[in-house]
Amino acid sequence: MKSQITNALSDFFFEYETPRQVLVRNRRVGVVCRLIQLGVLAYIIGWVFIYEKGYQSTDTAVSSVFTKMKGVGYTSEIGKERVWDVADYVFPPQGDSSFVVMTNYIITEGQNMSKCPELPGKHNCTSNKDCEGGGFKRTGHGQMTGVCVKLNTTQTCEVLAWCPVEDDRKIPDPPMLMSAENYTLFIKNSVTFPLFGVTRSNLVEGIDAEYISKCLHDPEKAPLCPIFKLGDIVKLSGFNFETIAKVGGAIGIVVDWTCNFDTDVRNCKPKYNFHGLYGNPTETDKARASVGYNFRYAKHYLEDTIQKRTLLKVFGIRIDIIVQSLARKFDIIPTLTAIGSGVGIFGVATVVCDLVLLYLLPKREFYKNMKFKYTDTHIQDPDSEVGSIETEVSKK
């Protein structure tokens, strides 16, 4: 018993088994096998290693964006001249990565809480019965008092609201702040790749205070300059400035950090891309329910102890700054994984060629006999305590 165990352990630890291979001389099968192997090799080298860079590990960045607008606008209305600076036309003013630059507006001054007639149109009436007291209309400006009043040549419902109510039916054309085209935007962006311990800023080597004070971003002449002219941003996004300034819209600025840390870290530099997200309405857009981008805000004040406000309906360009990042660096683990998976895929050639040999070729029975051994097992004496087994191996 002891010797049997010793022999079994010896066979297990000190012997090596290799699968039997049959060399088949067949041109068609050989060509199919080599073509498949060549395709697998091209996939591994071309796609996995060169295109997908399967020999590198990847990481995305943690980023921070700071913005600052500069520029002064001027408007001249009936009897009023205004100068608009950054505090007036940027919302919100904190320098976020998403903000709005006002380019057009409708202003309603001197509003106070009182009773006044609604705008003519959807709120017209012929008697008090048409104005439900205490009721609201979704497109109205306040609570109806139940009184139908005369406004010029029409009659409309009286409301308790901020009076006089805003009349936004006509958008100023041309835009009030066409000078916004010359405003400038400064973008300061910092990214950190935690996996590789690398921190980069868009103020890369050579971008110092003297350079920033003179440069203006240009995709070809000054691609790394972080100062952008608003008119250029609109143009590079594919929009028309006058059109988008009239009704508003949205533009995305993508700061792309695609870096290869197998080279010098200083080669990791940002690229700026501009995308028109919403705006630039055409003739076909007139049927839409809402065109452009706008919102309202109010400035409250006291006049002779009466609370009043100035209401502005702002049309502007919403700018969203999006940081997109992907860094790569050589790593032995993904390299070995890619190689191992590629070696495994080479087995596809063997499987396909076996299928062709055993099931498609005219001599498939001959190939089957060459590839497989057939073993028949018979019990000689079924009545004996142990019995004996005779094995006949035939190679056909």
Contact 120, 154 (CB under 8 A): yes
58 known ligand binder: no
Task: List, in sequence order, every residue forming a beta bridge with 272; answer none if it has no partner.
Answer: 255
- Other C-beta atoms closer than 10 Å to the C-beta of 173 total 10
- Other C-beta atoms closer than 10 Å to the C-beta of 213 total 8
329 known ligand binder: no
Q: Which two tokens stand for residue 192?
A: 């950190």
Contact 191, 325 (CB under 8 A): yes
The predicted model scores a pTM of 0.77
Distance, first Cα to last Cα, the chain = 38
Task: List, in sequence order, every residue forming a beta bridge with 200; answer none if it has no partner.
Answer: 191
26 known ligand binder: no
Contacts made by residues 30-36, CB under 8 angstroms, sequence distance 24+: 32/352, 32/353, 32/356, 33/349, 33/350, 33/352, 33/353, 36/348, 36/349, 36/352, 36/353
295 known ligand binder: yes
Q: Which two tokens stand for residue 83?
A: 């100068």
Strand bridging mode 249-260 / 306-330: parallel
Q: Kindly give the confidence (pLDDT) of every residue in the chain, 396 residues in length, as a single tens digit, with 9 standing for 90 and above.
A: 667 777 766 766 777 667 667 777 778 778 888 888 888 889 888 988 888 888 899 999 999 999 999 999 999 877 788 899 999 999 998 888 999 999 999 999 999 999 999 988 878 899 999 898 888 888 889 999 999 998 888 999 999 999 999 998 899 989 999 999 999 999 999 999 999 999 999 999 989 999 999 999 999 999 999 999 999 999 999 999 999 999 999 999 999 999 999 999 999 999 999 999 887 655 455 556 667 899 999 999 999 999 999 999 999 999 999 999 999 999 999 899 888 888 888 788 888 888 887 787 787 777 777 777 766 655 444 444 444 433 333 443
184 known ligand binder: yes
Residues of the chain with CATH 2.60.490.10: 62-107+181-330
Q: Which two tokens stand for residue 109?
A: 């001054």
User: What is d(CA 329, CA 310) in angstroms, rounded to the nearest whole number?
Assistant: 57
294 known ligand binder: yes
User: What is d(CA 168, CA 370) in angstroms, rounded to the nearest whole number?
Assistant: 90
Question: What's phi and psi for 147, nearest 5 deg?
Answer: -115, 135
Q: Which two tokens stand for residue 303?
A: 């006049």
User: What is d(CA 270, CA 324) in angstroms, rounded to the nearest whole number?
Assistant: 10
Task: Select 62-107+181-330's CATH number: 3.40.140.10, 3.40.50.720, 2.60.490.10, 2.60.120.920.
Answer: 2.60.490.10
Residues of the chain with CATH 1.10.287.940: 24-54+331-371
Contact 318, 111 (CB under 8 A): no
- pLDDT the model gives residue 361: 78
69 known ligand binder: yes
Contact 302, 273 (CB under 8 A): no
Q: Which two tokens stand for residue 382?
A: 């079924």
Q: Which residues fall within 8 angstroms of residue 269, CB to CB, at 6 or more apart?
A: 204, 224
Contact 336, 355 (CB under 8 A): no
Q: Which two tokens stand for residue 18?
A: 């290799």
User: What is d(CA 336, CA 327) in angstroms, rounded to the nearest whole number?
Assistant: 20
- pLDDT the model gives residue 396: 39
Which of 335, 325, 345 has the alpha carbon at shortest distance from 52? Answer: 335
Question: Looking at this protein, which amino acid is placed at residue 42?
Answer: A
- pLDDT the model gives residue 389: 37
Question: What's phi and psi for 54, nearest 5 deg?
Answer: -70, -5
- pLDDT the model gives residue 48: 87
Which of 196, 189, 293, 198 has the alpha carbon at shortest distance from 250? Answer: 293
- pLDDT the model gives residue 394: 40
DSSP secondary structure string, 87-117? HHHEESTT--SEEEEEEEEEEEEEEEEEEEE
- Asked, as a colleague might, if the bond just before 172 is cis with ω within 30 of 0, I would say no
Contact 285, 88 (CB under 8 A): no
Q: Determine the CATH number of domain 24-54+331-371.
A: 1.10.287.940
145 known ligand binder: no
DSSP secondary-structure letter at 166? P
